[in-house]
Amino acid sequence: MTTHKKPIRVMLIDCRPLVLMGLQDLINARKPQMEVSGQATTYTNALDLADQLRPNVIFFSFFPDALNPLEVVAGLTRSAEMKVLVLKGLYEAVPVAQAIEAGARGIVLAEDPTESIIQAIITVHHRDTGKDRAWAGGLSGYSATGNIHLKCNLEQAKQARLTLRERELIRAIVGDPSAKYMSIAGRLGISEHTVHNHLSNIYQKLNLINRIDLLMYALKHGLINNEKPPESTWVELDLVARRNKTI
């Protein structure tokens, strides 16, 4: 007998009709794997609609509204089944750290390739270990638990899988975060297609979602010219769950 998996139900929250239309077309083109279950143009409507629809993944944009967006993110993520992805333009001022603290599972750049956006939806939907990252500022006393040493070992093991070419690409991205992939490819003497392939491998090896996730990770762990990692900015929350997982 053929079994049919339920589609990933995605809800969109944005005040811009063109953004909503573009995301809807992108996501619905992947039916039956995923589909848009609803849209909201105000935060009040978003909270009511999410309560009715119970979507799996919510694309959330920051925009002027009567409600505080961070409080809305916190409200939406009280249910573990609803996972928020913040949609951010490269030059938009969005409180990324606070959004993660409030419960968002990741940040998606509007300028990312469509495949990266689709993959972000799939990735967060299948993560069921709670928030993947939280900013250290909201975790007072966490370093006293003894898990920091475990975190370092896990991260070192993941980073050891990176090739020299992948590390070179990471340095290029961190050196110019706003550079287009074509420009990066030209500087490295490779094709744009090869850049995308390397990035896909990097995301998989480091358990990241997209380019902004990689940027924060690289700065945190000092993946630039073998520099010493800077002071901790965020720490993993699901270390215990990962101790027995093969990296």
Q: Is the residue at 91 inside a domain?
A: yes
Residue type, 174: V
Same-domain pairing of 227 and 111: no
Between residues 239 and 19, the one the model is more confident about: 19
Q: Do 18 and 91 meet the contact criterion of CB atoms below 8 Å apart? A: no
pLDDT classification of 84: cutoffs 50, 70, 90 = very high
**What crossing angle do the helices spanning 211-221 and 164-175 adopt, rounded to 10°?**
100
pLDDT classification of 113: cutoffs 50, 70, 90 = confident
Rounded mean pLDDT, 66-71: 92
Q: What is the mean pLDDT of the chain?
A: 77
Same-domain pairing of 16 and 114: yes
Q: Is the residue at 246 inside a domain?
A: no
Rounded mean pLDDT, 203-221: 83
Same-domain pairing of 126 and 162: no
Same-domain pairing of 15 and 129: yes
Q: Beta strands 57-60 and 133-135: pairing type?
A: unpaired
In this structure, what CATH number is given to the domain that contains residue 105?
Answer: 3.40.50.2300
Same-domain pairing of 35 and 83: yes
Strand partners, 87: 108
pLDDT computed for residue 4 by the predictor: 59
Same-domain pairing of 27 and 121: yes
Between residues 37 and 143, the one the model is more confident about: 37
Residue type, 183: S
pLDDT computed for residue 130 by the predictor: 40
pLDDT computed for residue 225 by the predictor: 55
Find how far residue 118's CA is from the centre of its chain. Answer: 11
pLDDT classification of 81: cutoffs 50, 70, 90 = confident
> Is a pLDDT exceeding 70 seen at residue 20?
yes
Identify which of 174, 170, 194 has the alpha carbon closest to the alpha carbon of residue 182.
194
Q: Is the residue at 139 inside a domain?
A: no
Instruction: Kindly write down the DSSP assignment for every residue of 38-49, as one continuous string.
Output: EEESSHHHHHHH
- Residue 57 to residues 4, 71, 151, 195: CA-CA distances in angstroms? 19, 18, 28, 28
